[in-house]
């Protein structure tokens, strides 16, 4: 029974880790896209 509990705990901790990692990567990509859009808009205004 102890081995099963350890395995479940290991899987649970791994799932939480990867979920947090997914959120961090998703936020980074979102911020990068927004920053690129802002730079593109600024360049567009400078050219016009």
What DSSP string runs through 3-46? HHHHHHHHHHHHHHHHHHHHHHHHHHHHHHHHHHHHHHHHHHHH
1-47 tens-digit pLDDT? 679 999 999 999 999 999 999 999 999 999 999 999 999 999 988 88
Q: What is the structure's pLDDT at 2?
A: 76
Q: In the numeric block, which tokens belong to residue 13?
A: 């901790």
The whole-model pTM stands at 0.74
Domain layout of the chain by residue ranges: 14-47
pLDDT at 48 over 80: no
The dihedral region occupied by 46, where left means phi > 0, alpha psi between -120 and 50, and beta the remainder, is: alpha
> Which pLDDT score is estimated for 20?
99
């Amino acid at each position: 029974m102890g081995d099963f509990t350890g395995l479940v705990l290991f899987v649970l901790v791994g799932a939480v880790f990867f979920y947090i990692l997914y959120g961090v990567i998703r936020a980074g990509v979102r911020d990068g896209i927004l920053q690129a859009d802002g730079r593109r808009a600024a360049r567009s205004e400078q050219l016009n």
